[in-house]
Structure 1
């Protein structure tokens, strides 16, 4: 009887999962397995924080539990193991005499090294390993150019892909799954078993509490598109800062593979046919294209996306490595309200808006001069929606060593705060110590006189920190415009 071992990675779903569907079609019995790799939860010695923080760890546990339930509903189950995948998968493949291991294809160094290590071990026993490209909107084999000729900027990439390539249709869920007899499924670990003995309490100020798993992902997609009718206004609202509906909030489910980008594409296209097609509906697909672009960039440039010189291999940049300054940025204690509000939202919830990410990244690199690698690593640890390609690609971009055609892009944080949070609603939402400060003074709180501090109930340097840099340069630059 033919058996296939299916290794789940960042594809925690049944819908549009070509690899798993093919496994059920090509074998009488399929063994789905997920490995909690301790390396993903270890502390990074250089920084002293975990590679995967508590928010994404919780989301991942929820997603794996949901996948197991969905597999059981089809007559299957999910084997859960804790440990390095290389020896675990080899042992399972040998014990159950499988003919092949199927899994999704990843593109960055750590993941591909694990793939290569597993493949090498399996070959010793004449067991095939088949990889399936499943994480992007457009398939890598459909690109209208050789990967080495991938445009270095997004716009020419988008123009070529949109004009010459079609999105492949989604794959259906398998109808039924058959398991071998006597499988030891294992037990889902707890957060303490993964090393998380203190989980941050849920913060009622959070924009959204995203439950991990395909079930929640599909429910959210349905609600966002059809129940709340939000695609038609996405472009106008996407840069807002507070609330569940200003952006799509698909990213966490996309990053864990609970939701397929092609599923989103098909729903948006159906929405355009049945309700309305406008610039906002296109912009949702546009954002998926950016996600694709960073994945293809990572595939093209390899380890360069993780180095300070970036994909441009620009060695001219010099960075400070100041742990004390970095710590103040991490904790939202820089004395710059717009930066601190965003950093505290990340610290309390594992989420930050796209607008916030660009500003705090620019501030860390351009204003504080700190090595952008540090910021990218902190985002990797803290973001629930961390995606290796998008995270490191975006940090390359903001640091000026990536795909930005300008190369020296700079965010005037004061100007940005006035534009996107003019009434300081967002800042006072996350910085309650500034609640008594009038909105027109919040973004320049460092200018308050002692008398004003007494009047508004905030003492600079005590209740709220003095600024880590001289921010008046932003105001001068804004007044010159």
Structure 2
């Protein structure tokens, strides 16, 4: 059989990897490849990405293969390797982003057998179509019903042997980068999944909105880089519907992005709204110095950890868009720059949902940050953890320090009136 290049992009794992499994089953040579493209810098995710690649390389070497690393334009470098190893095919996981789909079109125009495989989501993004017509679901609930009835493919085991051609220069991974709070890679992802499945999954429904309790899975960065198969995660979750529903939301925004690839730039549902241009307010929001403690706690968690609790993401996004009146794209860019799990579909889809320009069925909704803090941070432990200026205050005052007779030293008054 001929040689197949398996191009890794957002699927940095060996378990449940349809493209890798299919290549190994052909009986020929398999060349696992990752291309570091300087035109697509990893930014704050660089350290996490390098962990992922190093771990993937070790997993492939344990199976008699290796990860070939090249630098440059993904299509050009892949085709150069095609000629070097005389490959007859390129196998890759499908993507939904504009960047990924542009690459796919370029590969399709080359004289090579180029095949795309599932694995990015639980249900392939283009598999479900509304019964009444249309290329994708615009509302979550009917999508959830259709998604829940979909017959899933089997979860694939990792291949036992990856037959790499002899004599290939693997290529070096870059040197150390500033390291995030979480360690990347499939090994870390699977360890986290095992631990959380036994200790946190059963309590997810009751605790997922507890800001201080930190009872969410924290698996989102691993899903973003494909260190963990979303299908395998859904299988592990079983009938815990609250958690499975979150995986469905992830799939939902991917199928929206497939149909609307400019989701990170254009309003999905345009609304007649004028945004405020307030550079000072934006900078205070980014720094976690708005004077609204629950907002500042979330923004400081983002700065410190490259991650933020999902409930906090909703609160801080709503504050920027609906209280400060700032364009959702400003917030989406900041999140994308700093989040370890930042990707186009989920990040932009959720920001547009908050802004009322996306898939929300209640586009005019607005959150009250004080009520959100009282409900989801009832003893202000989350606020005290990330806003130490308020650590010594009683709970009610820690949520609303502007109501004190004297301003708290080092902490600002609200930059806009709070309900």
TM-score under structure 1 length normalisation: 0.83
2:54 — aligned with what?
Answer: 65
- Deviation digits for residues 22-43 of structure 1, max 9, x if unmatched? 11112511111111221222xx
Q: Does structure 2 conserve the Cα–Cα contact (< 8 Å) formed by 1:67 and 1:213? A: yes
Query: Within 2, Cα distance between the matches of 1:114 and 1:33?
Result: 15
- 1:392-426 deviation line (CA, Å, top 9, x unaligned): 11011001001110111211111101111122111
**Aligned counterpart in structure 2 of residue 298 of structure 1, from 226, 248, 257:** 257
Partner residue, 1:289: 248
| Cα deviations by residue, 1:243-284 (Å, 9 ceiling, x for unpaired) | 55x111121111110101111122222xxxxxxx5xxx1111
| Cα distance, 1:321 vs structure 2 | 2.8
What is the distance in 2 between the residues matched to 1:300 and 1:6?
26
- Out of 156, 161, 164, which is 1:171 matched to? 156
Note the 1:10-25 alignment, pairs <5 A.
10-25=10-25
**Kept in 2: contact 1:139–1:168 (CA 8 A):** no
The answer to whether the 8 Å contact 2:15/2:156 transfers is yes
The whole-number CA distance in structure 2 between the counterparts of 1:186 and 1:100 is: 21
- Structure 1 CA distance for aligned equivalents of residues 347 and 105 of structure 2: 24
Deviation at 1:9, TM superposition (A): 0.4
1:192-341 equivalences under 5 Å are: 199=178, 209-226=181-198, 228=199, 230-244=200-214, 246-269=215-238, 281-303=240-262, 305-308=263-266, 310-314=267-271, 316-341=272-297
Q: Aligned partners of 1:444 and 1:313: how far apart in 2? A: 35
Alignment of 1:112-127 (within 5 A): 112-120=101-109, 123=110, 126-127=111-112
For structure 2, list consecutive stretches of 5 or more residues without a partner in the other structure.
Answer: none
For residues 175-229 of structure 1, the C-alpha deviation after alignment (integer angstroms, 9 at most, x for no partner) is: 201111111111111255xxxxxx37x7xxxxxx432111111111111113x2x
Correspondence list, 1:393-408, <5 A: 393-408=349-364
User: Structure 1: how far apart are the matches of 2:332 and 2:235?
Assistant: 32
Structure 1: gaps of 5 or more residues: 42-51, 193-198, 203-208, 270-276, 475-481
What residue is the counterpart of 1:53 in the other structure?
A: 43
How far apart are 1:302 and its partner, in Å?
A: 2.4
Distance 2:383 2:394 in 1: 12
Counterpart for residue 81 of structure 1: 70
In structure 2, what is the equivalent of residue 46 of structure 1?
A: none
- Report the counterpart of residue 415 of structure 2 in structure 1: 468
**Residue 145 to residue 156, structure 1, CA distance change in 2 (3 Å):** closer
For the Cα contact (< 8 Å) 2:19–2:91, is it kept in 1?
yes
What's the Cα RMSD here? Answer: 1.8
Q: How does 1:358-373 map to 2 (within 5 A)?
A: 358-373=314-329
Q: State how far apart, in whole Å, the 2-side matches of 1:449 and 1:140 are.
A: 55
Structure 2-normalised TM-score? 0.95
Q: Which residue of 1 aligns with 2:116?
A: 131
1:374 corresponds, among 330, 346, 354, to 330
More helix by share: 1
Please report how far the alpha carbon of residue 307 of structure 1 lies from its aligned counterpart in structure 2 after TM superposition. 3.0
- Count residues with an aligned counterpart: 418
CA offset at residue 150 of structure 1?
2.6
C-alpha contact 1:89 1:118 (8 A) present in aligned 2? no
Report the CA distance between 1:142 and its aligned residue.
Answer: 4.4
Give yes or no for contact 1:434–1:442 (8 Å, CA) kept in 2. Answer: yes
CA distance 1:438–1:247, shift in 2 (3 Å): same
1: distance between equivalents of 2:356 and 2:289? 25
